[in-house]
Each structure stands twice: as structure tokens, then as C-alpha cells.
Amino acid sequence: MPRLAFVVLILASVLPARGSAVERTGPVVLELFTSQGCSACPPADALLGMLGAREGIIALAFHVPYWDHMGWRDPFALPVSAQRQRAYARSLKQRSIYTPQLVVQGAAETIGHDRAAVERLIAAAPQIATISVRVVDRTPLVVALQIPPIEPPLIEAQLWVAAYLGHQVVYVANGENAGHTLQHAFVVRWAVPMARVNAAPADLTLALPEAEHADGIVVLLHRQRQGPLLAAGRVVLR
């Protein structure tokens, strides 16, 4: 009987108190797929800018080009944005893609301007690890990454790198948002799957000359075929 009591005391000491919050140590990554040619997107752009200012949030706005035929060519649209969105559609078993779509932690999605739904996904976001990102050289830009241990152990993962601009203001002359001045934040201007990672912890050094004029760099470690995120990190350049 004394031995049983001892075990119960030890278990009680390591379990969190009922009702207490579990502290999050890794980031929550928000990826908004948006377009200046989409009339439903400006509220989502504004929400992303607000959420991205929070501690522990990494926000990215991927502007897609498939609205460009509607009378306005989005100057921030990139083919890779639509490619990345389609890969998420396959991973999340969706039949189609749309804007504004917000993907949280690479694991769940919702309409980008639905704040209540977005907040629920942030609160329920699976824990991921933090990648340390350090600038080694500015010209050309070179960064050093430290990927921590990942559980369960990696078999093969894909590392993406994205370079973004901070606050941007654009007047839209035509299309669905004609006559409006739009505010954007965390606008991706370059993104690429950079490397395959077969083990963690790992140290990597990446030369990123394409990102020299960016305001920040984000690195995203995915399960195979752009599945849920395993780890992420960011470095602000200016």
C-alpha cells in the first residue's frame, strides 16, 4: 500500500494542474493564399497582418496568379504560390483551391477572413520544433540553420525557404478591387524547396542570393510531399 501511494504522488507531480494551459514552445505558421484580384481577400490580408504581429506566429502571404486574367495583374503573384497551394490541396485531400485560403501548420485550412475559425485553428495547432536561423553573410546572403531533434525521428523531410517583404501598399486600378488601395504584410517574393533532410538534429548553411533584398527569411520543414510542418524558423533582415 505505501508503494502505491508513492507512485501516485510522483505522477501527480509531473502532470499539469487541471485547467492549466500547456506552454507552447514552437511557432505557429500561417500561410495565406491570396490575390489582389479577389474581392474577398483584403479582409484576409488585414487579418494576417494583425496575427503575424503576435509573438510566436510566423505569417506568410502567398499571392497566386490565377486571378490575373480578371482585369488586374497582381504584382506579387508567383507561380510557386499556386504550386504550393495545390500541394496542400493534395495533402489535405481537397478537390480544389480557392482564395483567400489560410493554412495553419501545414495541417489544417480555413477561409482566410474567418477570424473565429482561424483563431480556433491557431489554438489547436500541433506543436512543431523551432529552427534557429542566423545570418552568416549579407552580400551574398548566407544563413546558417540549426534543426533540432524531431520526434518521431525523420526518415525524409523537405526544407522550404521563403523570402518576404514587410508592409506593402498598392493601388488597384482594375479588377474586383478596382479603385481600392490595398495593404499587405509578409508578402512572399521568392520561395523554393531547398533541400531534403534525412536526419535531425542537423546544421545547414544556405546561400540565398535571390533573397538579399527581402525583409525576412522563413524556413519550413515538411513531412514528405508537403505534408504537415515539423519545424519552422525565421530571421528578420531589416
Whole-Å CA distances, 31 to 88, 203, 207: 11, 25, 24
Rg of the chain on CA atoms, in Å: 20
Phi and psi (nearest 5°) for 97? Answer: -115, 160
Decide if 121 contacts 108 (C-beta within 8 A). Answer: yes
Domain definitions of the chain by residue range: 25-236
Using alpha carbons, select from 227, 228, 186, 237 the residue that is nearest to residue 58: 186
Which class would CATH give 25-236?
Answer: alpha beta
- Per-residue model confidence as pLDDT tens digits over 148-204: 999 888 878 999 999 999 999 999 999 999 999 999 999 999 999 999 999 999 999
Between vectors from CA 107 to CA 105 and to CA 109, what angle results, nearest 5°?
A: 90
- Per-residue model confidence as pLDDT tens digits over 125-138: 999 999 999 999 99
Decide if 104 contacts 121 (C-beta within 8 A). Answer: yes
- Per-residue model confidence as pLDDT tens digits over 65-99: 999 999 999 999 999 999 999 999 999 999 999 99
